[in-house]
Amino acid sequence: MCGGQGVTEPHPTHTAKDVMRGSDVVALESPLFRFSDEVREALARGRPVVALESNVVAHGFRAPDNLTVALAVEAAVRAAGAVPATIAIAGGRFVVGCGTEELELLSAAGGAAAKVGGRDLAVALARGELGATSISATMAIADRAGIATVASAGLGGVHRGAATSFDISADLTALTRTRLIVVCAGVKKILDAGLTLEYLETQGTPVIGYRHLPFPAFYCRDSGFRTQVALDDPREIAEVARLHLEFGGTGSVLVTHPIPVTDALDGDRIEEAIRQALDHAAAERITGPAVTTFVLRAVDAATGGDASAANRAVLISTATAAAEIESARAALVGGVVDAR
């Protein structure tokens, strides 16, 4: 079970205001939630908090690199003035703010930890199993916990060939079911960026480029498509999000921020590696969610490990951007700007 020091039951008098929802107050009295002391206090005081997925710890990298990356991402959030809240599932509860012990457990578990998407939440809770949350699950939990901003390396999207396979990530529909600011580096290059943007437009999800107009493609800074608008000031993004979320049923705001120039990979090189990996996956009859993991590992092997280094850079870059925007959001609603 994931129950290390620093993780507590919800305080009896604690409520958390989701300040991006006007006057609505979300009470976190549910026994399904366990908060770290740091995250609980930050939410109570209106300090900036950034939710992080735990899937990257268990499944994104091999041990011990996965723990090193997880700690580096949390450090990046702190350095930018916010409190990191890595989210996981353990013992039939949502853990909001994993401590070092929890992160070590996820790191050691690796593939033995269940990969939990949005539709898997109830099953994971009922089984009491250790679960590493994907972005869709992290969004759902963060939304209920009163956290306003989520950081992820790459969002799921519309897969290549979706016209016949209907393979569209649950991350996209999760954006319509939550009221958050979601910061990512676009979609992985193995997906169809153009169709993903069309899908986002259809469901009314704003797509804002943070200091970068091109829609990024995870390892690469430019997918060949553009975001809806580029904004340079995190305070302006916070204001756009506030206005958007004042309207009921409008869903989350998506903010994209690219991998740093020095860490970006060549698009043509990645495209060729992806093509070969997809052909191999088809020949091996690998389908569903397993395709993404298979292709990403094949691309990493084809690039001599450069893809893993880029993955780490993306995680830190988006975490930093999310913390900057979340700090601006907290200041906008009267919270404490610097959580350090």
Residue whose structure tokens are 């929802």: 21
pTM of the model: 0.88
The string of DSSP codes covering 59-75 is IIS-TTHHHHHHHHHHH
**Which positions ≥6 away from 102 have C-beta within 8 Å?**
2, 4, 7, 86, 88, 90, 95
pLDDT recorded at residue 18: 42
Tell whether residue 171 is among the known ligand binding residues: yes
Q: What distance lies between CA 45 and its chain's CA centroid? A: 23
Catalytic, 53? Answer yes
Instruction: Report the b/e string of 299-318 with b at 16+ CB within 10 A.
Output: bbebbeebbbebbbbbbbbb
The string of pLDDT tens digits covering residues 119-175 is: 999 999 999 999 999 999 999 999 999 999 999 999 999 988 888 888 899 999 999
Which domains can be identified in the chain, with CATH numbers? 1-147 (3.40.1790.10), 153-334 (3.40.1790.10)
pLDDT recorded at residue 14: 33
With beta carbons less than 8 A apart as the criterion, state whether 117 and 136 touch.
Answer: yes
Residue whose structure tokens are 């916070």: 238
pLDDT recorded at residue 4: 43
- Active-site position among 17, 38, 53, 74: 53
The string of pLDDT tens digits covering residues 41-71 is: 999 999 999 999 999 999 888 899 999 999 9
pLDDT recorded at residue 19: 38
Catalytic, 188? Answer yes
Residue 109, H or E segment: helix 100-109
pLDDT recorded at residue 126: 96
Residues of the chain short of pLDDT 50, as ranges, are 1-5, 8-27, 336-340
With beta carbons less than 8 A apart as the criterion, state whether 42 and 339 touch.
Answer: yes
- Tell me how many degrees the CA angle 8-11-17 measures, rounded to the nearest 5: 110
**To 10 degrees, the CA torsion angle through 2, 122, 185, 317?**
-20
Parallel/antiparallel/unpaired status of strands 93-96 and 83-90: antiparallel
Rounded CA separation 205/122 (Å)? 26
Q: How would you class 332 by CB atoms within 10 Å of its CB: exposed for 0-12, middle for 13-18, buried for 19 or more?
A: middle
- Active-site position among 74, 188, 324, 326: 188
Rg of the chain, C-alpha, whole Å:
19
Rounded CA separation 33/288 (Å)? 30
Q: How would you class 224 by CB atoms within 10 Å of its CB: exposed for 0-12, middle for 13-18, buried for 19 or more?
A: exposed
Tell whether residue 115 is among the known ligand binding residues: yes
Beta bridge mates, 95: 34, 88
Tell whether residue 167 is among the known ligand binding residues: yes
The string of DSSP codes covering 267-281 is HHHHHHHHHHHHHHH
SS3 260: coil
